Structure 1
Amino acid sequence: MMRNAIIAGALLIGLAACGSETEPVESENASYSARQYMQAVNDIARIDDREFDETRQPAELLAFAQIDKGEVVGDYIMGGGYLTRLLATAVGANGKVYAFQPEEFIAFRPEYAEEQDAAVAPYADNDGNPVNVFPLRGPIAQPGWPEPLDTIITVMNFHDLYLTDFPEGTADEAVQMLYDSLKPGGTLVVVDHRAVEGGGVEAANTVHRMDSQLALDALTGVGFELEEESDLYARPDDPRTANVFDDSIRGMTDQFAWRLKKPE
């Protein structure tokens, strides 16, 4: 308990240093670099995450996502909270992170609830009240964001929308929700494991990979515009045929990374 209190106090001081009530949001035309996000990467709450940083390249991802101080960001399908912890410091004391864990995931694996609690705890005050990270739970297509968002990020989970375990139409409902949840001009960042070309819905269900053309058609179909594609996680040696949880490829899959815009 004492260790948690010390960590929480240190994080609150760090967040306060990241922004003040008068600090403006950075210009959308600002240049973004991995270097400017090193405070987020070095957050003391991320000690256990650092073993994954070499492959997940957190600073580069935040730069690609163009996260600004003071932004309101949704971590859609937060999993173990890896991205939540990065965003907490990246948005600063004036920003907000809504960390969404689907109820369906928790029902399948109850540990997801515990991981959500652990991810948001360091960013609460001494009374346990959220400072700038707020947990959300709900149906996968209905996160219940309490306000319009500047940015939504979903990493290695977009394919889950196409699992046949979910009711028919879940993917369409979720994609429309992502679009509607953003402010005009808002950004959606999607990172996912690439399936073989033409893999379709079957790839999501058999190897937990996303058919990139299927994803792009769904996203642009509701109005998103693809602003930039990054080769940050491109690994051409991956044949894209193995299940992403297979030891032979886990952590080294070929992935696409997109930044999409909702028009003004």
Structure 2
Amino acid sequence: MYDQSKLSELIRFARAKKGSTVIDIYPGDGDWTRLFSDVVGPEGRVYNFVPAEVAHFKNDPVGLMGRLAKEPGRENVEAVSSDLLAMPKATQPADVVWLHLFYHDLHTALIQKKGATAAEFNRAVYERLKPGGSYVIVDHAAAAGAGTSDAQSLHRIDPASVREEVEAAGFVLDAQSTTLANKVDPHSIKVFDPSIKGETDRFAFGS
């Protein structure tokens, strides 16, 4: 996770507040789910949504999120899992749909094996957001002009491609954050490489 100042900035950027409904897509260890749970309070709701495409992972993401939802004080959290494109049917209308380091996976064989595409997922998000809601994407940046070609190999994506795809679904990109930018990232190595792991150049878009 990030230091407190970056966490606070990203929560502000997401526009989550008391009473909000948030969908945390592929929540990993659940750190963001916990943060949003604290922010939205007992009148809000947080769905920690595990795509069925990754439910088979050895760390048992579905079970992990189910246990998180049972933690003391997490009554506003609901663990949900379904095929990625079924997300609108598995959740309620949301104020925020949050993707942290996941969008690039929409362009990988793992996520596409059940037929999901970035275009279809973006339309699903558009369907699930309340009017005026925020679609927030944080991801590892690829080199300018790389498009989606590094998504499978390096787990990176060109911010310009993300913007193009999201706007094609009807969204308006109205906020960008450089909080996680790293100008010394060469953009040419895998994000798990020890020389850059945890320090990649990352972009944040709010639509």
TM over 0.5: yes
Please state whether the residue corresponding to 1:83 is helix, strand or coil.
Answer: helix
Shift in Å, 1:123: 4.7
How many correspondences in the alignment? Answer: 204
Query: What are the residue-to-residue correspondences of 1:55-70 with 2, within 5 Å?
Result: 57-70=6-19
Partner of 2:166: 219
CA RMSD of aligned residues (A): 1.8
Given the alignment, which residue of 113, 121, 128 partners 2:70?
Answer: 121
Shift in Å, 1:169: 5.2
Please state whether the residue corresponding to 1:234 is helix, strand or coil.
Answer: coil
Please state whether the residue corresponding to 1:58 is helix, strand or coil.
Answer: helix
2:126 is aligned with 1:182: no
Please state whether the residue corresponding to 1:62 is helix, strand or coil.
Answer: helix
Shift in Å, 1:209: 0.7
Partner of 1:234: 181
2:90 is aligned with 1:136: no
Give the TM-score, by structure 1 length.
0.73
Please state whether the residue corresponding to 1:225 is helix, strand or coil.
Answer: coil
Query: What are the residue-to-residue correspondences of 1:45-64 with 2, within 5 Å?
Result: 52-54=1-3, 57-64=6-13
Q: In the aligned structure 1, how far is the partner of 2:157 from the partner of 2:97?
A: 18
Q: Which is greater in Rg?
A: 1
Q: In the aligned structure 2, how far is the partner of 1:79 from the partner of 1:56?
A: 21
Shift in Å, 1:235: 0.5
Partner of 2:156: 209
Partner of 1:197: 144
Partner of 1:90: 39
Shift in Å, 1:83: 0.5
Partner of 2:96: 151
Q: In the aligned structure 1, how far is the partner of 2:64 from the partner of 2:52?
A: 13
Is 1:55–1:252's contact at 8 Å kept on the other side of the alignment? Answer: no
Q: In the aligned structure 1, how far is the partner of 2:24 from the partner of 2:194?
A: 27
Larger relative contact order (CA 8 Å, sep ≥ 6): 2
Shift in Å, 1:145: 3.6
> Structure 1 unaligned runs (5+)?
1-51, 125-129
Q: In the aligned structure 1, how far is the partner of 2:4 from the partner of 2:157?
A: 19
Is 2:154–2:189's contact at 8 Å kept on the other side of the alignment? Answer: yes
Partner of 1:40: none
> Structure 2 unaligned runs (5+)?
none
